[in-house]
Amino acid sequence: MIDPVVDLGWVQQQGGAVVLADVRWYLDGRSGRAAYENGHLPGAVFVDLDKVLAAHGSPAEGRHPLPAPEVFAAGLAEVGIGDEHPVIAYDDTGGVIAARLVWMLRATGHDAALLDGGLTAYTGALETAAPSRTRANFTARPWPEARLADIDDATSGRSVVLDARELARFRGDIEPVDPRAGHIPGARSLPCRDNVDASGRFLSVPELRKRFESVGVTDGADVVSYCGSGVTACHNLIALEHAGLGAGRLYPGSWSQYSSDPGRPAATGD
C-alpha cells in the first residue's frame, strides 16, 4: 500500500496511473462542487462528501455516519474510480476533509493517499471542466470492525481518545453546530488542523510523533479518533499512520452523536 501522504512530485511521476479526487466541503454551507467547478487540479474528479462519503445524519447516528458500502462503491464507480485505481485526494484546507475519503479507502484495503499541500501544492493553471472518465467497477466491501469504534469504546477508558476539533470547541467555549458544547470525558485535544503548517503541508514525522506523544500516544497504543461528525477525525488517523504509530480507530458518530444523548456527561475546559 502506498504511503498515506504523498507530494505532488510523486503524483506527477505516476502519470495517469492514479486518480485525483477533489473532496472540498465546507461547514459554513458553501458548495464544494461549486468550488470544484470554479477551478480544480487537472484531471481531478469531484467526490461529494454528503452523497458518497456519508449517509443521512440523525441524532442517533451523528451528522455524517458512514454510508452503506454499496453507496460508497457506486459513487466512486460513477466518477470513474475503480478497484485498480490508486486515489490521491485533496481539498483546500490541509486535507482535513479529503482525509475522510483516504481513510475509507485505506480501511477497506485500497491504495489511497492525501496530496500534501492540497490544492495549493499546484502552481499551474486550474481546470474548470470535469474530466471525461468512463464508469468504473468498484467492489463494495464492508467497513472493517477492527478500524471502527462506537460510543462505548470512546468512553471505556481503555483507549487514548483524541478530539480533532479546534481547541475552543473541545473546551466548550463555542459550539456552532452540535446540541451541546464540550467534549467526551477523558478525551485529549489534538486539533487536526495543527498537523499541517501554514502552507497546508504536513509537519515532519518527528514533529507529528511529538504531537501524538504529548497526548499520550505511543507505539502500539489503542487510539480512538473523533471530531464533530467523524470527518476531520480521519485527518488525525492519517497523520497517526504517517507518523508510524499505527492505524487507530474512527468513532464515526463523534460529538454529534454523543452530545445528542442528554444522559451522557459533557466535559469542558482543558
Q: Which residue has the cell 504517517?
A: 242
Helix (H) or strand (E) holding 160: strand 160-163
Q: Which residue has the cell 504523498?
A: 6
d(CA 136, CA 139): 10
d(CA 57, CA 210): 35
Q: Which of 227, 237, 239, 243 is catalytic?
A: 227
DSSP labels for 164-188? -S-HHHHHTS--SSSSS-SB-TT-E
Whether 227 is catalytic: yes
Q: Which residues contact 62 (CB under 8 A, 6 or more apart)?
A: 229, 230, 252, 253, 254, 256, 257, 260
**Inter-axis angle of helices 233-242 and 99-107, to 10 degrees?**
60
Q: CA nearest 76: which of 92, 87, 65?
A: 87
**Hey, which residues are catalytic here?**
227
